Structure 1
């Protein structure tokens, strides 16, 4: 059998660079269902990758000085690819056990994600890091060209890293999922090594990875409360999302590590017995008629929009959600529909800045526990929201917080009070408080006085 040409060193460092950064992006998404996608998780992921790369550079240099051969380089690339492709298969059992163990000692996302990314990604990245100095040793034939050759190889590797970042985040993860993304990058490395080593039995390795790529990935996070089941899950452009259905038919939308429910639909009713019901009545603390137009910033799967469409069908609703796939989930699994609902795939603050509409009520439900988008909690944001209100309009913020802690609520209340003449609170749940800001008058007594004018289902809430 005729041997294929050996892969050029430039191609090897390009593919390895692409795989390292692609794996880094995929690793953060792999941890998200268990530890979230906060800055802490990203910091741990980037930090461990850099430490592993540094170690790999050092060790690769030592190996190259001992006995630099093409075969040795191909073996390193092969090992790197196999380890990378194995990551998703080690992730499920390890992360499941790790989360339970860490919960038992009350360890948080920092410790959990640090251990997770170290166990899963450090070794493949360490091995991949050894490739660049080893390839450089093979490429340099004389001291007079060392600078040019090393600069060229590291530039090519960096371009590969850039491509790996974008293909992982924008192409592979949204289209084929996080687990298959690891297999794709592992397959690229294994195929490259198999061509270089030119051994017939090694062709089985890429073939095996292709088979794994075609297999169903199964449920990423299948554990639920007793009697519940996961009926849909996906890795969106922004996060991991799943729909859980309980035995009575109640459906809930969970994101990332599932610390909070972001939308809910109960069969046979438009109410949930949860925080979303409060949005129906809170505006009546400052207004004596149903809102003509509202904006929901953080619409998720449309629980509030659906209820408003039922109880106040004349209200025009702008549902703003940065993750368009959640809107699709809302339509398919949560019956998200309303006579005058318009959905917008946009970030909340840029949407408010661009819109010319004026609202009777702006609902801010974008504070994902346990994360708060800082740019939606500033004085400048609330000034922008105030400028998009009609006279007498209200801004209502869902301040989710740990049970027994009111620190976030106090900080948000103080910030809102620097913008609005009136700020009142509705501590409807142990972990959720609605804060209402307006330049008009607002009080619980006014809401109670308006209660008889509300639909019968809503009157007990007021």
Structure 2
């Protein structure tokens, strides 16, 4: 069972960060090929990632395991409605609308739900792993997920982008996502069929203060803000090299492994 958790978490992280340069590559010509396209995409992905983490945190900490499994199976199933992730021609910039808002709407309507599902599944499966294996620390799974994310970012400009057309990339990614939903759904169903709910994740130590919560959030926000700033500076003032945007994000992920 531990290997199944590891495989699904790795796959979710791989797909999570493969879709970022993939969808940005598709829509880049639609909005003039400017660096602001990737910066806007990065903002969207950061916000959606945070929402996925909040969902996983709230679900794992406040609901019985069976309810968690049912809710997440519904999320997994509903995310399939977004496949394949091929944005329609009507999303193209017409010159009369705000491009940033149009990009955000395009991303939300095309990859929003699958991305949200991928971002929430990793933390949720780590919480379930902790319940199933009391005393075993799931942080290796966290490192594994970041390794999968880094592999996706590095493989896209070297393997995926040169070998496949944009439409083919979207189809292949959608097939991989379908496989992920089947595997994650199987784990969710196995958790649902557990005879009894496992003990909640309760720490007997002192609870963090409100000040400590705000400090953690602020410290976590600093590298994300630096990532956006460095990416924006590189793409606007250094060199307009295609897929240069991937480099700062890859370095950011490498620090988390």
TM-score range, shorter chain: 0.5 to 0.7
Kindly tell me: are residues 180 and 79 of structure 1, through their superposed partners in 2, closer, same or farther at Cα, counting changes over 3 Å? Answer: farther
Q: Which has the larger radius of gyration?
A: 1
Kindly tell me: are residues 64 and 182 of structure 1, through their superposed partners in 2, closer, same or farther at Cα, counting changes over 3 Å? Answer: farther
Query: Hey, what does 1:86 align to over in structure 2?
Result: 84
CA contact (8 A) 1:64 1:137 kept: yes
Tell me how far apart the structure 1 counterparts of residues 56 and 237 of structure 2 sit (CA, whole Å). 41
Instruction: Select 1:68's aligned residue among 59, 65, 68.
Output: 65
Query: Hey, what does 1:188 align to over in structure 2?
Result: 176
Tell me how far apart the structure 1 counterparts of residues 150 and 81 of structure 2 sit (CA, whole Å). 21
Partner secondary structure for residue 131 of structure 2: coil
Query: Hey, what does 1:178 align to over in structure 2?
Result: 166
CA contact (8 A) 1:22 1:161 kept: yes
Tell me how far apart the structure 1 counterparts of residues 236 and 129 of structure 2 sit (CA, whole Å). 49
TM-superposition CA deviations, 1:118-166 (whole Å, max 9, x none): 33233221121110221011110389746x31x2111111111111112
Tell me how far apart the structure 2 counterparts of residues 116 and 7 of structure 1 sit (CA, whole Å). 36
Partner secondary structure for residue 141 of structure 1: helix
Q: Which runs of 5+ in 2 are unaligned?
A: 187-234, 241-257
CA contact (8 A) 1:78 1:194 kept: no
Matches within 5 A, 1:305-344: none
TM-score w.r.t. structure 2 length? Answer: 0.61
Kindly tell me: are residues 63 and 17 of structure 1, through their superposed partners in 2, closer, same or farther at Cα, counting changes over 3 Å? Answer: same
Please state if 1:168 is matched with 2:160.
no
What's the CA shift for 1:20? 0.8
Query: Hey, what does 1:113 align to over in structure 2?
Result: 103
**Residue-pair matches, total:** 189
TM-superposition CA deviations, 1:327-377 (whole Å, max 9, x none): xxxxxxxxxxxxxxxxxxxxxxxxxxxxxxxxxxxxxxxxxxxx987559x
Query: Hey, what does 1:421 align to over in structure 2?
Result: none
Tell me how far apart the structure 1 counterparts of residues 239 and 52 of structure 2 sit (CA, whole Å). 38
Matches within 5 A, 1:46-61: 46-61=42-57
Kindly tell me: are residues 372 and 64 of structure 1, through their superposed partners in 2, closer, same or farther at Cα, counting changes over 3 Å? Answer: closer
TM-superposition CA deviations, 1:253-299 (whole Å, max 9, x none): xxxxxxxxxxxxxxxxxxxxxxxxxxxxxxxxxxxxxxxxxxxxxxx
Instruction: Select 1:39's aligned residue among 21, 35, 46.
Output: 35
Task: Name whichever structure is richer in strand by fraction.
Answer: 1
Tell me how far apart the structure 1 counterparts of residues 2 and 184 of structure 2 sit (CA, whole Å). 5
Q: Which runs of 5+ in 1 are unaligned?
A: 199-370, 377-462
Partner secondary structure for residue 37 of structure 1: coil
Runs of 4+ in 1 over 6 A off after TM superposition: none
CA contact (8 A) 2:8 2:183 kept: no
Matches within 5 A, 1:180-219: 180-194=168-182
Structure number with the bigger relative contact order (C-alpha 8 A, sep ≥ 6) is 2
- CA RMSD of the aligned region, Å? 3.2
